[in-house]
Amino acid sequence: MTHEGFIRGARPDGRETIGPVDAIRVPRFAEPTTFARLPRLDQVTDPDITVLGVPFDSGTTYRPGARFGPGHIRASSKLLRPYNSTLDVFPFGDQQAADAGDIAVNPFNITEAIETIDAEVTELRKHGSKVLTLGGDHTIALPILRSIARDHGPVAVLHFDAHLDTWDTYFGAAYTHGTPFRRASEEGLIDLERSQHMGIRGPLYSKADLEDDSILGFQVIRSDDYQVDGLKSVVERMMKRLAGGPVYISVDIDVLDPAHAPGTGTPEAGGLTSRELLNTIRALQGLNIVGADIVEVSPAYDHAEITGIAAAHVAYELLSVMVEK
């Protein structure tokens, strides 16, 4: 095992960490192809957080292609730097981060794919590592929550999305990218008093969508609230809702306006700016964040890596707020 060229750091207890490849020594456009050029999982021991790719989009209902999202986000992450000056943390040095690569999931059998994701995430988590998952479509949030709830019980879900994703079925199918949080609520995986949607907008099927969503345990902060009430007010409402226990963060990249994230399967006008999303995530520093995902990056619809770069920076901020001080 060699760590030549990697930046070294230290955890709060003094144990050494192996960070990303040093861009001063190895050009950013060179290898490796891991997220932010982090070491692979087999190159480190005792990781605090693991980046996992899930190239699965068989639950999509409109434009496919999110199965190529993990690779696109990794390719767009090479310019990330080790120090987060806004939060005053080294997300790749104050904790041991590693990239586990992609898992192989059955693209023709959603039930089997869900079981595989659950098993793989559980395996990565069994020694204490948190998991940041790169999707993939939003179906993958359900098996991840199943894994996390076994250890933590029902958790608050902070869900960034243009859409509620609490619909019942599509074409009679219970497991799709539009249904994961209904299933999670029905299965008792989420905290009904602390879960929150962020950035919701666009047309719905009926008023019952919002009524059902409330019963399932979510409050809604709309995209328009950022414009009308301002970021500070939105963050205060969010933090009040999340207080008191573990939090799982799920980011559908279509929470961003198509101007900031065109490469996604179900775009909706009127979304957040990348600045608003990044600042909202930074406000989560200090919470007990037990895992996170970024989903619905579909590179075939991207231009100049706009969506990939946004998703990479979202991942960077998530890794930053997950640093334990």
pLDDT digits over 45-83, tens only?
A: 999 999 999 999 999 999 999 999 999 999 999 999 999
**pLDDT confidence band for 3 (50 / 70 / 90):** low
Residue 4, pLDDT > 90, answer no
pLDDT in tens, 118-169: 999 999 999 999 999 999 999 999 999 999 999 999 999 999 999 999 999 9
Q: Kindly list the structural domains of the chain, giving each domain's residue range(s) and its CATH number in brackets, ordered by start.
A: 23-28+43-104+111-321 (3.40.800.10)
Residue 319 CA: distances (Å) to CA of 8, 34, 65, 102, 145:
17, 15, 25, 18, 18
pLDDT > 70: percent of the chain: 99
Q: Which of 11, 171, 146 is nearest to 91 (CA)?
A: 11
Mean pLDDT in the chain? 96
Nearest to 37 by CA among 111, 92, 107, 106: 92
Q: Which two tokens stand for residue 266?
A: 């179900």
**pLDDT score at 31:** 81
pTM, 2 dp: 0.97
Number of other CB atoms surrounding residue 199 within 10 Å: 30
**What single string gives the DSSP state of each residue in 65-129?**
-GGGHHHHHHHTTTT--S-BTTTTB-TTTSS-EEEEEE----TT-HHHHHHHHHHHHHHHHTTT-
Answer yes or no: is pLDDT of 1 > 90. no
pLDDT band at 100 (very low <50, low <70, confident <90, very high): very high
Q: Provide mean pLDDT across the span 264-285.
A: 98
Please give the share of the chain, as a percent, with pLDDT higher than 90.
Answer: 96
Are 5 and 89 in contact, with CB atoms under 8 Å apart?
no
Residues forming a β-bridge with 133: 52, 293
